[in-house]
Amino acid sequence: MEKLIFDQLQEELYHEKMDNGLDVYILPKKGFNKTFATFTTKYGSIDNHFLPLDKDEYVKVPDGIAHFLEHKMFEKEDGDVFQQFSRQGASANAFTSFTRTAYLFSSTSEVEKNLETLIDFVQDPYFTKETVDKEKGIIGQEITMYDDNPDWRLYYGLIENMYKNHPVKIDIAGTIESISHITKDMLYECYHTFYHPSNMLLFIVGPVDTEAIMNQVRDNQNKKTYNEQPEVKRKFEDEPSEVAQSHRQLKMNVQTPKCLVGIKTGNATQSGEEMLKKELSLNIMLDILFGKSSENYSFLYGEGLIDDTFSYDYSQEQGFGFAMIGGDTIDPDRLADELRTMLLKGRENGSIAADSLERAKKKKIGSFMRAVNSPEYIANQFTRYSFNGMNLFDIVPTLENLQLADIEQAANELIAEDRFSVCQVVPK
């Protein structure tokens, strides 16, 4: 077991790689009632074209299967895992993103039992034709719920605009049609390919006895037999650097229009420190350009073009990355134009003042401290960072070292006319 100490934050992190390849991290949090654990596989909605375990031909699986699999993991021969968690005083949940599927629980008592339940249920799939068919109705209602949600449609509409081939453009839950093709055999094939311990990470944060918990996980894993498995082979078609579509307007049952401007990164191949520096630089840039203390924000708010739903963010994973800026607006065309002009101006060297950089860095450092109040943030984000070869706790030192030139370079690389795209939701 290795120990990492973060002096300034007064946190300690423990790590061990199990013999079967599973990475286990424990972060003790004194004074907290709750223990929070996530068990995550590096498998999400984009992993739809891959070489199944022990096969020699690539397969393409139906849209939404990773999410479907997540739902089905909770059902076992002897009933529902939710029941067992609540008997042990825990609340359990799961989520599927573009690149990850995470199973989690939080509890303030019987932590060892709950941890055992979490590991065991994720490592013991049970699918039958009947339970798979039954789930189609439930997930069908989940899909319909999102169909009625204008913010959801706006977000996915913009991603669909930006990407021509990359599967990030596919809705995580799939469609009612696509999930109708899912069978139990497909679920098993995906499961065996992606749920090997060497493709997974277990993170535990809370008031725990670090050594006892690590021993427990080690014993649990040693009892199970896993063959050594090579890294999963995935296939992605080439993605052009320009956007697939520069504009899309969705007509929906809304009163207030919505507008999001996206910029697709021309290069999403970075990982590790390089990726961390890029993500932080771009988020700092957006903060300087559009934060509440910026001139742009005052102007847009003063003109009535934005309200409290306005937001901005840059995020990247292996193979795709984008900035998104916007929110509800009375004039979606004018907002799109203004944002585009502001971004292009922000790319010009010399447009960012040194004191605004220092302020934005302080702001980010403070908000990171606020974030690490949250066990959920630590576990989820640490896992995401780790899957991309980054360390969550490098955020503050990396921020402190950022220079104006870094921000300018990142802005220069990102912002280009042919990588802009706009998605709007307008009243029918």
Partner 1 sequence: MNVIEETVKLYDGFKLHMIKTDKFKTNTLVWKMKAPLQKETVTVRSLLPHVLQSNSADHPTTAKLRSYLDELYGAALYVDLAKKGEYHVITISLDIANEKFLSDQTPLLKKAFELLAEIVTKPNVSDNGFDQTTVNKEKRTLKQRIQSVNDDKMRYANYRLVQEMCKEEPYALHVHGELEAVDQITPETLYSYYQQALEKDELDLYVIGDVDEEEVQSYASELFQFQNRDPQKTEANGRSHKGDSVHEVKEVQDVKQGKLNIGYRTNIVYGDEDYFALQVFNGIFGGFSHSKLFLNVREKASLAYYVGSRLESHKGLMMVMSGIENNKFDQATGIIEEQLQAMKNGDFSEKEIGQTKAVIKNQLLETMDTARGVVEVLFHNIISRKEVSLTEWLNGMDQVSKEQIIAAAKKVELDTVYFLHGKEEGE
Instruction: Report 358-397 residues binding partner 1 (CB under 8 A).
Output: 359-360, 362-367, 369-370, 372-375
Determine, following the binding rule CB under 8 A, whether residue 223 of this chain makes contact with partner 1: no
Instruction: Report 15-54 residues binding partner 1 (CB under 8 A).
Output: 29-34
In this complex, which beta carbon is closest to partner 1, that of residue 31 or of residue 350? 31
In this complex, which beta carbon is closest to partner 1, that of residue 138 or of residue 225? 138
Q: How far apart are CA 191 and CA 224, in angstroms?
A: 16
Q: How far apart are CA 72 and CA 107, in angstroms?
A: 22
Binding footprint of partner 1, residue count (CB under 8 A): 72
Helices (H) and strands (E) in the chain, counts: 15, 16
Of the residues 2, 57, 77, 138, which one makes contact with partner 1 according to CB under 8 A: 138
Determine, following the binding rule CB under 8 A, whether residue 331 of this chain makes contact with partner 1: no
Instruction: Report 227-256 residues binding partner 1 (CB under 8 A).
Output: 253-256
Q: How far is the CB of 326 from partner 1 (least distance, A)?
A: 14
Q: How far apart are CA 383 and CA 231, in angstroms?
A: 18
Determine, following the binding rule CB under 8 A, whether residue 144 of this chain makes contact with partner 1: yes
Q: How far is the CB of 90 from partner 1 (least distance, A)?
A: 7
Determine, following the binding rule CB under 8 A, whether residue 175 of this chain makes contact with partner 1: no
Q: How far is the CB of 375 from partner 1 (least distance, A)?
A: 7
> Ramachandran region of residue 160, left (φ > 0), alpha (ψ -120 to 50) or beta?
alpha
In this complex, which beta carbon is closest to partner 1, that of residue 30 or of residue 223? 30
Q: How far apart are CA 61 and CA 400, in angstroms?
A: 44
- Give the distance between the most distant pair of CA atoms in the chain: 65
Determine, following the binding rule CB under 8 A, whether residue 180 of this chain makes contact with partner 1: no
Outline where 47-167 has alpha helix (H).
Answer: 65-72, 81-87, 111-122, 129-147, 150-162
Determine, following the binding rule CB under 8 A, whether residue 82 of this chain makes contact with partner 1: yes
Of the residues 177, 209, 307, 348, which one makes contact with partner 1 according to CB under 8 A: 307
* Residues belonging to the active site: 70
Determine, following the binding rule CB under 8 A, whether residue 283 of this chain makes contact with partner 1: no
Identify the helix (H) or strand (E) that includes residue 289.
Answer: helix 272-290
Of the residues 48, 96, 193, 294, which one makes contact with partner 1 according to CB under 8 A: 294
Query: Which string of DSSP letters, residue by residue, matches 315-368?
Result: EEETTEEEEEEEEE-S-HHHHHHHHHHHHHHHHSTT-S-HHHHHHHHHHHHHHH
Q: Which stretch binds partner 1 (CB under 8 A): 219-227, 276-284, 356-364, 382-390?
A: 356-364
Integer CA distances (angstroms), 265 to 159, 248, 279, 424, in order? 12, 19, 11, 20
